[in-house]
Structure 1
Amino acid sequence: MNLSSVMEPNIEYAPKHYICRRATESLVLDGRVDKSFWTEADWTDDFVDIEGDLRPRPTKQTRVKMMWDDEYFYFAAELVEDQIWATLTERESVIFYDNDFEIFIDPDGDTHQYYEFEVNALNTVWDLMLVKPYRDGGPPVNAWDINGLKTAVHIDGELNRPDADNRKWSVEVAMPWTSLRECSPDGRRPVKDEFWRVNFSRVQWRTEVKDGEYTKILNPDTGKPFPEDNWVWSPMGIINMHYPELWGYVVFADKEGPEQFVPSPDERMKWELRRLYYRERNFFAEHGEFTTDVKMLMGDESWIITPTIELTSRLFQISAPSSDGTATLYIREDGKLWKE
């Protein structure tokens, strides 16, 4: 079991949220996001740096729309870009070595068994499942596929042509519930008023043109490409997408609503349990054992939970009553969080 230290994100807990409306017509994918299918869907907020306000805002706009019906979870992404390039053509390549667009989905919000999807401007995809986040030992399951996946890319400009009038590229994705329900609550698609945890990332490399081709700019001190930028919908406060507890809330709606989303007080309580998980893991990494000293872990900050810690030499479980007092929230040493 991986019991290494876990970095605590430097961010206030305020994940984005989105009302995902029900589709009223069939989608014919061509990568364009300016057709009638998407008219009723709102755009997300523009993407920000993965670290949020700790870093400057992205220099190029990225935004997403979502819809759903009985068969699919639909996504449309628009990426403003004057340098449209891609090189990877084999499915299951590490797509973020190119500029790419990425989708992350945790159906039940326990931070275990979640999905990752990546696509580049060549419409080459990489889809995988994470049994646990890497901080908790993973592993990624690259052999897992979104069976029935549909994708399309539209390029407003020309691919791999630096001299072209390039403006943006866009992506459409349709993920069938028959695949996504594998890790969903009760093994089913969502219903009205439920939410799934979702986030998006855009990987953006620094490039220059040499001999008529795009190449990554090398750091003269290392001889390697400069680190990529990571632009996201819901900021993470850390350069790591694999903190599902910080992904946004996507709420499934129909023509009767809902029109807005107010998180349950339990969501704040789950975040406080998560912060204790970070600190308990970090205490173990430093001292070789866990602690039951709740006051030491909580410090002098303000908390709304009254937690209880149970330990063995290699395991811990932290619990707190739910906001209405009818259930208990739990988190354990591998980060899994649940309610019973």
Structure 2
Amino acid sequence: MLSRVWLALALIIAVLPLLAADGPAEHPAPRGYVCLKAEKSPVIDGKLDDDAWKAAPWSEDFGDIEGEKKPKPRYRTRMKMLWDDKGLYIAAEMEEPHLWATFTQHDAVIFQDPDFEVFLDPDGDNHLYGELELNAKNTTWDLLLSKPYKDGGKALNGWEIIGLKTAVALDGTLNDSTDTDKGWSVEIFWPWDGLKEMSNAATPPKDGDQWRINFSRVEWDTTIENGKYVKVKGKPEHNWVWSPQGVIDMHRPERWGYVQFSTKTSGKVAYTPDPAQGVKDVLHELYYAQRDYQKKNNRFAKTVAELGWKPPKIGTPEIEVTRNGFEATLKAWTIRDDSRITNK
């Protein structure tokens, strides 16, 4: 019964961003990370002392989910990645003076604790993507999204990542309010076998392949009552992410960053920004404009002129209104009314 209550709460929280404006307030360029190939698989124990990790560069420090206009996170968070013929390896390091966690049941709503989260959409079409959350007790929640919540997507909570391995290491004491901790680290092994059912992308990836990915850390403001950490009532969670979303909603896959796979095992490899990013951004801007138009007129606009949206210099999308929605096309890319974007 308790798990059902928590699941209901999770779905309510997931829908909250819909009450705000549809489109992100800003469009920061998605971040990119070059993922080197591991010469030897790291041991998944939560400790980042394996020789394999020494070759992997750290990411930029995480920032606020809404972007640089918001205050910087008060604690540092960063990640790194590796891959081999078996799967994708993810490591994260988080500063934290007050380590606490409560959930021990798999597939509980982990973000009600401080947590680390991974969002992955290998083929980058905004649909059928995976989410993984874990807390400082190494309790996990893995779920598959048919499409974003804003588009009527459903969370498949019974989905399990095949062969998943996770571990955490604490630099401090858990749930002890009498001391000051330093932080915690995370290691994740996500096998290729656990990705095949959610994507048409090649697994293992080829040299230069790029996937959409993002990472989030949830942090809560707390006080100490009777020796225990208690959330401050009325204060929402902090969302600190690798690639800014521009809006408080991680379920906007078009704003996630990119992981670029390299077959090199060491050295610096240049990241190549997605050459289609500008076209994708234009189509998503049109998508959000159509959502606003539909709310006001109970139908979608048939042309850009009718929509009243001024397309940028990159080109004017062509719109085709269907019985139940619309499709907009620009330079061989098409976006639908449910935000699925594909290359024809």
- Give the TM-score of the pair, scaled to structure 2: 0.91
What does 1:54-133 correspond to in 2, within 5 Å? 54-133=69-148
Q: 2:248 is matched with which residue?
A: 239
Judge conservation of contact 2:282–2:311 (CA < 8 Å) in 1.
no
Q: 1:223 is matched with which residue?
A: none
Per-residue CA deviation, residues 126-179 of structure 1 (Å, 9 max, x unaligned), is 001000000111101011111211111100000001123410101100010001
Q: Could you tell me how far 1:229 is from its partner in structure 2?
A: 0.4
Q: CA RMSD in A?
A: 1.9
Where does the alignment leave 5 or more consecutive residues of structure 2 unmatched?
Answer: 1-17
Judge conservation of contact 2:86–2:191 (CA < 8 Å) in 1.
yes
Q: 2:24 is matched with which residue?
A: 9
Q: 1:279 is matched with which residue?
A: 289
What does 1:180-259 correspond to in 2, within 5 Å? 180-186=195-201, 188-219=203-234, 226-255=235-264, 259=269
Q: Could you tell me how far 1:187 is from its partner in structure 2?
A: 5.9
Distance 1:298-1:255 versus aligned 2 partners, 3 A rule: farther
CA distance in 1, matches of 2:189, 2:154: 25
CA distance in 2, matches of 1:115, 1:202: 16
Per-residue CA deviation, residues 14-70 of structure 1 (Å, 9 max, x unaligned), is 000000000011221111113312000011100000001231000000000100001
Q: Could you tell me how far 1:305 is from its partner in structure 2?
A: 2.3
CA distance in 2, matches of 1:5, 1:294: 24
Q: Could you tell me how far 1:183 is from its partner in structure 2?
A: 1.9
CA distance in 2, matches of 1:297, 1:44: 40
Judge conservation of contact 2:218–2:239 (CA < 8 Å) in 1.
yes
The answer on 1:307 being equivalent to 2:317 is yes
After TM superposition, the structure 1 stretch with the greater mean CA deviation from structure 2, 77-86 or 251-260, is 251-260
Secondary structure of residue in 2 paired with 1:173: strand
CA distance in 2, matches of 1:282, 1:101: 33
The answer on 1:291 being equivalent to 2:301 is yes
Q: How many residue pairs get matched?
A: 326
Q: Which amino acid aligns with 1:259?
A: V
The answer on 1:320 being equivalent to 2:330 is yes
After TM superposition, the structure 1 stretch with the greater mean CA deviation from structure 2, 84-93 or 155-164, is 155-164
Secondary structure of residue in 2 paired with 1:182: helix
Judge conservation of contact 2:98–2:180 (CA < 8 Å) in 1.
no
Runs of 4+ in 1 over 4 A off after TM superposition: 3-6
After TM superposition, the structure 1 stretch with the greater mean CA deviation from structure 2, 5-14 or 66-75, is 5-14
Q: 1:47 is matched with which residue?
A: 62
Judge conservation of contact 1:5–1:281 (CA < 8 Å) in 2.
no
What does 1:141-152 correspond to in 2, within 5 Å? 141-152=156-167
Secondary structure of residue in 2 paired with 1:76: strand
Secondary structure of residue in 1 paired with 2:195: helix
Q: Which amino acid aligns with 1:218?
A: K
Q: Could you tell me how far 1:336 is from its partner in structure 2?
A: 0.7
Secondary structure of residue in 2 paired with 1:54: coil
CA distance in 1, matches of 2:199, 2:231: 39
Judge conservation of contact 1:276–1:298 (CA < 8 Å) in 2.
no
Q: Which amino acid aligns with 1:37?
A: A
Judge conservation of contact 2:282–2:312 (CA < 8 Å) in 1.
no
Q: Could you tell me how far 1:186 is from its partner in structure 2?
A: 4.8
- Give the TM-score of the pair, scaled to structure 1: 0.92
Q: 1:222 is matched with which residue?
A: none
